[in-house]
Homo-oligomer: A and B are copies of this chain.
Amino acid sequence: MTGLTYEVLNKDNLARTGRLTTAHGVIDTPVFMPVGTAATVKAMTPEAVAGTGAQCILSNTYHLMLRPGPERIKKLGGLHTFMNWPGPILTDSGGYQVWSLADLRNMDENGVEFRSHLDGSVHLLSPERAIEIQHLLGSDITMVLDECTSLDADMDEVARSMQLSLRWAERCKAAFAERDGYGLFGIVQGGLHDDLRAQSAEGLKDIGFDGYAVGGLSVGEGQDAMFRVLDGVVEHLPEDRPRYLMGVGKPADLVGGVLRGIDMFDCVLPTRSGRTNQAFTRRGALNLRNAQHREDPTPLDPECACPACSNYSRAYIHHLVKAKEILGAVLLTWHNLQYYQDLMAGMRQAINDGGLEAFASDFHSKQKEEPAEQME
Q: What are 20 contact pairs spanning A and B, CB under 8 A?
A: A38-B320, A39-B316, A40-B323, A40-B327, A43-B330, A45-B330, A47-B307, A67-B319, A68-B294, A68-B315, A68-B322, A72-B294, A76-B313, A76-B315, A82-B319, A84-B312, A84-B316, A275-B326, A326-B326, A326-B330
What does DSSP make chain A's interface, helix, strand, loop or mixed? Answer: loop
- In the complex, A311 has a CB within 8 A of chain B: yes
Q: Is the CB–CB distance between A326 and B67 below 8 Å? A: no
Residues 217-254 (chain A) with a chain B CB within 8 angstroms: none
Residues 309-348 (chain A) with a chain B CB within 8 angstroms: 311-313, 315-316, 319-320, 322-323, 325-327, 329-330
Interface band, chain A: 35 or more
Are A326 and B76 also in contact (CB < 8 A) when A67-B319, A68-B294 are?
no
- In the complex, A355 has a CB within 8 A of chain B: no
- In the complex, A105 has a CB within 8 A of chain B: no
With a cutoff of 8 Å between Cβ atoms, the chain B residues found around residue A43 in the complex are 326-327, 330
With a cutoff of 8 Å between Cβ atoms, the chain B residues found around residue A68 in the complex are 294, 315, 319, 322
Number of copies: 2
Q: Is the CB–CB distance between A297 and B327 below 8 Å? A: no
**Top 5 A-B pairs ranked by shortest CB distance?**
A43-B326, A84-B311, A40-B327, A38-B323, A68-B319
With a cutoff of 8 Å between Cβ atoms, the chain B residues found around residue A75 in the complex are 295
Q: A40 CA to B76 CA in the complex, in Å?
A: 34
Q: A263 CA to B258 CA in the complex, in Å?
A: 60
Interface 1/0s, chain A 46-67, versus B by CB < 8 A? 1100000000000000000001
A46 nearest in chain B by CB position: B311
Q: A220 CA to B254 CA in the complex, in Å?
A: 57
- Candidates B84, B312, B327; contact of A44 at CB < 8 Å: B327
- In the complex, A16 has a CB within 8 A of chain B: no
- Candidates B83, B313, B322, B329; contact of A82 at CB < 8 Å: B313
Least distance between A283 CB and chain B CB atoms (Å): 22
Q: Is the CB–CB distance between A326 and B39 below 8 Å? A: no
